[in-house]
Chain A
Amino acid sequence: MKTKSRVLASVLALGLSVTTLAACSSNNNDNGSNNAGGASNAGNAAGAKDTITALLPPVSPTYQENFDQMAKDFNAKYPNLTLKIEPASWEDMTQKLDTQVNAGSPPDIAFIGSDGISKYVQQGMLMDIKDAATPDMISDFDTAPFEYMKNGAGIYGFPAYMEAHALGGNKEFLEKAGIDYKNVQKNGWTYDEFREAIKKGVVKEGNKTSRYGFVFATAGVASKDYLGVLVKGAGMPNAFTTDNKYAYTSKNYLEVLKDIRQLIDDGSMPKELSSVDAGKRWNMFLTGQTMITGKGLATFENSANKNNEKIDANDGSAVKGSIKTDYIVLPVPSFAGQPPVTTVAVDGYVTFRGKKEPSAEHKANVVKAAYFLASGKVAATTNNDLFVANITKSGKTAAEGMTTNRNPDNVAAVGVLLSHAAPARPDIPVELGAKAIKLEDEVIVPKLQALLAGEISPEDMYDAVKKAAIDTFGEDGVVKE
């Protein structure tokens, strides 16, 4: 039996290698990408042969289908280079990447959120492409998203898109509640305006709420998205102030916490909010159980449109109990008289190094590959699929002629949102960033869940966060009042 003999053979092989194990592990410095230096075939006129590995998730529904084409196009452009793409599912790829990083053998390129950059910098496993990226490449990108790929003085890859985290409203219900959403799209709204608006969106049958004004996905770890989106508009565009003091000890933070509780106590948001997950609230939105939902991404408009088509087709494939909805992009309110700031997610192609210092040539090749993926046709196709704007000049050119059926009001609203996007903060030292992430996971998220569930008061939570922050950053490391 073939299987059996294979197993047997490997057992034997392993038995033999036990003795050599110790010797092997010490002199192996392969960085995981095959022949990183490209020693073979050197002297080829077009440059030495080299292979670049990339770990890529299904960024858009059609993204992974195009892998073969991407690799082919890349090879056509650079005949001496091979782009080897490893597919990975979105939610698991961090874990794979983290294991590879811990083992000292990450791929050359990985598609990740820019918020992950600082932790890999801290591990020393990112490759700074400052010297390898040509001015032509750099000038192709919009500045705001590009800043997100920096840390300290280094540049660690190219961004793919910058997506605004907004809210989404049901047009019919907004109109019924007398909300001038077009004005809100242009000029934003304050917390008080927002609070009154979503109060009007509530519909009751007897003493049972049949429609809420606002539902945000806050179950489990998603709860930090909710707080994160809100505090940006309360004068805290980042967990650290410009002079690198921890910001979440300011009194505005307490203000936001109180407001979070207030929206639930008003009855505008469900009291079970703390276990509403992303799927649940989208279902509530489509079935008319809420007027506004969050967080809202550009693709949601697409999903809502598709469901409308299915309702029209009347073949039982639409979401059960759903109604036709026109999805309206809405901004997140601002708090305590502070200017609105939009939370953005910048994801992109981040460049890694192995245990061995990469050669200048390999570095240049990796940069070529990262740029190839982040710009031009590849970027245009992907971003079009996702309903997000192109952030490269070459991508915008390539996107001309690709059609979308987006509501022009929404496109404009996203434009407004991105105009006050939270700026990147490459100046925050990685150690501080790491501490803030730990504080968020171990104190803020659990306390926030308790706050949402009505088990502690906003003051309790504020005090707990403040105490933990002072323990972590010291009295002088945090904002006072």
Chain B
Amino acid sequence: MSLYRNYPDRSKAKLFRNGTIIGLLLLFALATIFPIYFMVISSLGDPVEAGAMSYSLWPSKISFASYKFFFDYSEYSFRWLGNSLLVAGSVMISNVVFASMAGYAFSKIKFRGRAFLFTLLLVAMMIPYQVTQVPLYILIVNTFNLQNTYTALIVPGLVTVYNIFLSKQFMSSIPKEIIESAKMEGCNQFQIYLRIILPLSKTVLAVMAILTFMDSWNTFFWPFLVTNTMDMQTIQVGLKNFRFANTTFFAPMMAGATISALPMFILFFSLQRYFLEGVTVGAVKG
């Protein structure tokens, strides 16, 4: 029983329907994946300068020289990856924990000032970061004296409004009867959150984990701003070191970009089982 009609297996109608769908999706997929394809094949080229780069659909030769160049270029190449892993990992975990708690409160707990506070969060999100960056920098660097520390890299992203909003929207569709009945049975809000809300929200939490990790992993400007030695840089900051005044080491940069995309792949595939099958109320009740 689902959104789609259940055809008997191997029926012509089903084959035709799925064939059409796959065709459409493939076409869209091709357009989407092209940049990635290009990134990977250019990383297989020689470590040449970008001005001398040639655009082609097929690699004229395959060599891993650029990967070697990437790791040889700086003694910190591995450290950059490690730093990114630490920062993105911390930010991901704290967002999953604290944003889901806040999301639950904003969607299901009735407390005074709820609407006002939530509106405040949303409005703050609408201010472009270009102007909040400088006060934030003054706060972290001049006031707290945290420049070049992991704390400075991590704390501004501990809980984002985006994630609070996301979990609020998903949790709003959890039937309130479940919560009411749990209350009747004597559960306090924390128990409800832990035993009912979290299991029911696996899907959105997995999505949030991936999106947050990815966002933090790809952040360039803030880590760039608050780090001032190479050993504290993240991979995105490190990658930019391949650009010089008038030239860019293009293939090694692409090699670095390919390497830096790997952890996100791994995360994606290790979490994807959570959003392949939906978690519904029925599943938990049963």
Contacts and interface: CB of A to CB of B under 8 A. Distances in A.
A contacts B directly (C-beta below 8 A): yes
Interface of A: 3-4, 6-7, 10-11, 14, 17, 21, 24-25, 28, 30, 32, 53, 55, 57-61, 64, 84, 86-92, 95-96, 99-100, 102-105, 278-279, 282-283, 286, 297, 299, 303, 306-307, 315-317, 319-322, 386
B51 A303 contact: yes
Contacts of B50: 279
B53 A299 contact: no
B243 A91 contact: yes
Given A86-B229, A90-B243, A299-B246, A282 B52 contact: yes
Contact of B93 (A3, A58, A61, A105): A3
**Nearest 3 CB-CB pairs, A to B?**
A320-B54, A89-B240, A282-B51
A89 B133 CA distance: 19
Interface in B121-160: 133-134, 137-139, 141-145, 150-151, 154-155, 158
B144 A57 contact: no
A89 B241 contact: yes
Q: Which of A21, A32, A87 has the most CB of B within 10 A?
A: A87
Contact of A320 (B60, B138, B229, B249): B60
A403 to B, nearest CB: 21
B118 to A, nearest CB: 21
Given A17-B144, A96-B224, A96-B225, A104 B245 contact: no
Contact of B49 (A3, A10, A303, A321): A303
A315 B46 CA distance: 10
A21 B229 CA distance: 27
B228 A86 contact: yes
A89 B141 contact: no
A96 B139 CA distance: 16
A103 B134 contact: yes
B230 interface: yes
B245 A59 contact: yes
A60 B247 CA distance: 9
Contact of A317 (B48, B94, B158, B228): B48
A14 B155 contact: yes
Contact of B134 (A86, A102, A286, A320): A102
Interface of B: 45-46, 48-56, 60-61, 86, 89-90, 93-94, 133-134, 137-139, 141-145, 150-151, 154-155, 158, 220-221, 224-225, 228-230, 237, 240-241, 243-247, 249
A477 to B, nearest CB: 31
A348 B61 CA distance: 40
B230 A303 contact: no
A96 B221 CA distance: 8
B88 to A, nearest CB: 11
Contact of A99 (B86, B133, B144): B133
Nearest to B248: A279
21 contacts: A4-B90, A6-B90, A10-B151, A24-B144, A58-B243, A64-B241, A84-B228, A87-B229, A89-B240, A103-B134, A103-B137, A105-B141, A105-B142, A282-B51, A303-B49, A303-B52, A303-B247, A307-B52, A316-B61, A319-B54, A321-B54
A7 B51 contact: no
A21 B138 CA distance: 12
A373 to B, nearest CB: 16
A17 B200 CA distance: 36
Contacts of B237: 89
B218 to A, nearest CB: 15
A283 B53 contact: yes
A59 B244 CA distance: 7
A87 B241 contact: yes
A111 to B, nearest CB: 10
Nearest to A95: B221
B60 A24 contact: no
Given A3-B86, A89-B240, A299 B155 contact: no
Contact of A100 (B60, B137, B158, B229): B137
B245 A10 contact: no
B141 A87 contact: no
A17 B139 CA distance: 11
B59 to A, nearest CB: 9
Contact of B53 (A84, A279, A321): A279
Contact of B225 (A89, A99, A315): A99
A303 to B, nearest CB: 6
A320 B56 contact: yes
